[in-house]
């Protein structure tokens, strides 16, 4: 998120791309944590992995 914020306004596509990557890795992190604990990785809790992306969009476009 910090790198997405550091780009100037002429690089909007780079900002969006970095935020989408943050969301993807957030989802993977939640799924990996669930796998480590021996429970199914497919659950509604996976949506929590999108919080970094949502916060980044809010922070950049407020």
Token pair listed for 54: 């949502």
Number of other residues whose CB lies within 10 A of the CB of residue 30: 19
pLDDT in tens, 20-36: 898 999 999 999 999 99
Distance CA(1)–CA(45), nearest Å, equals 21
Distance CA(45)–CA(54), nearest Å, equals 15
Token pair listed for 21: 């990557």
Distance CA(4)–CA(25), nearest Å, equals 15
Q: Where are the domains of the chain?
A: 8-61
Token pair listed for 35: 């796998």
pLDDT in tens, 40-60: 999 888 898 888 888 888 888
């Amino acid at each position: 998120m910090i790198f997405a914020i550091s780009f100037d306004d002429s690089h909007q596509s780079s900002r969006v791309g970095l935020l989408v990557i943050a969301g993807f890795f957030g989802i993977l992190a939640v799924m990996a944590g669930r796998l480590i604990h021996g429970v199914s990785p497919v659950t509604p809790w996976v949506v929590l992995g999108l919080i970094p992306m949502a916060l980044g969009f809010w922070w950049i476009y407020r």
